[in-house]
């Protein structure tokens, strides 16, 4: 098994301008803050960000928004970040709002090879505009397409050197799903421990889907 630990600079250096990037977390909790900060430092531009939200100004994904490095956001809400709203209204940022459960399922569909997700959420609203519908048992559903990315940036509580990941509490919300839905997975861990230190029963994301690993505070 290969030691997958690399530097923040090296990990983010793999991400080109214009990439589609999934970023885990919920309002900054469970977000890989070191990777986000390095994206800002390296000035990666024209990013499409898939995330639950854009956090707050100068926090988490909000740092990317403040630096105007994002051209499109696909998220469930932007209400906590007035700068995201300002850029959207000014036409500087494209925003695609997706109901939270639908967002999670679309990401899961991409990771698990499903062709689409059907959901009643959004039927009869502006969320249904331009989308296919299907009727099953007399009920109408929207046909939502999978969401995949070039890169997934995720955060774990602990990792071993091969990339097995263990999460804590609500950081399990989007991070594990995103790990399956991107071509390249870069994980940031609070602690990196020897192989065998993490019980197999607590491994949520297995090493086979993790390409690179960075340790909080550098390596």
Summarised one tens digit per residue, pLDDT across range 65-110 is 999 999 999 999 999 999 999 999 999 999 999 999 999 999 999 9
The CATH number that applies at residue 200 is 3.40.1080.10
In a domain, 122, yes or no: no
Work out whether strand 117-119 and strand 94-97 pair parallel, antiparallel, or are unpaired. Answer: unpaired
132 found inside a domain: no
What pairs with residue 149 in β-bridges? 182
The helix/strand/coil state of 181 is coil
35 lies in some domain: yes
pLDDT of residue 1: 62
Does residue 1 belong to any structural domain of this protein?
no
Q: What pLDDT is stored for residue 219 in this prediction?
A: 35
The pLDDT value recorded for residue 218 is: 44
Residue 121 is assigned to a structural domain of this protein? no
- Which segments in the chain show pLDDT lower than 70? 1, 217-219
- Expressed as residue numbers, the domain containing 203 is 8-115+146-215
Asked if residue 164 is part of any domain, the answer here is yes
What's the domain count of the chain? Answer: 1
Does residue 134 sit within a domain? no
């Amino acid at each position: 098994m290969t030691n997958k630990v690399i530097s923040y600079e090296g990990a983010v250096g793999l991400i080109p301008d214009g990439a589609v990037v999934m970023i885990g977390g919920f309002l900054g909790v469970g977000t890989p803050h070191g990777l986000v900060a390095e994206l800002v430092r390296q000035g990666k531009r024209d990013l499409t960000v898939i995330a639950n939200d854009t956090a707050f100004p100068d926090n988490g994904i909000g740092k990317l928004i403040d630096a105007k490095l994002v051209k499109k956001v696909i998220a469930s809400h932007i209400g906590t970040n007035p700068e995201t709203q300002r850029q959207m209204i000014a036409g500087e940022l494209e925003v695609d709002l997706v109901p939270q459960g639908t967002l999670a399922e679309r990401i899961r569909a991409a990771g698990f090879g499903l062709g689409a997700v059907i959901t009643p959420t959004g039927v009869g609203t502006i969320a249904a505009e331009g989308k296919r519908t299907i009727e099953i048992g007399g009920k109408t559903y929207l046909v939502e397409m999978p969401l995949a990315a070039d890169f997934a940036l995720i955060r774990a509580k602990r990792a071993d050197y091969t990339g097995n990941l263990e999460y804590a509490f609500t950081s399990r919300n989007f991070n594990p799903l995103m790990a399956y839905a991107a071509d390249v997975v870069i994980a940031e861990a609070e602690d990196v421990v020897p192989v065998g230190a993490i019980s197999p029963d607590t491994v949520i994301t297995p090493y086979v889907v993790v390409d690179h690993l960075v340790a909080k505070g550098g390596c």
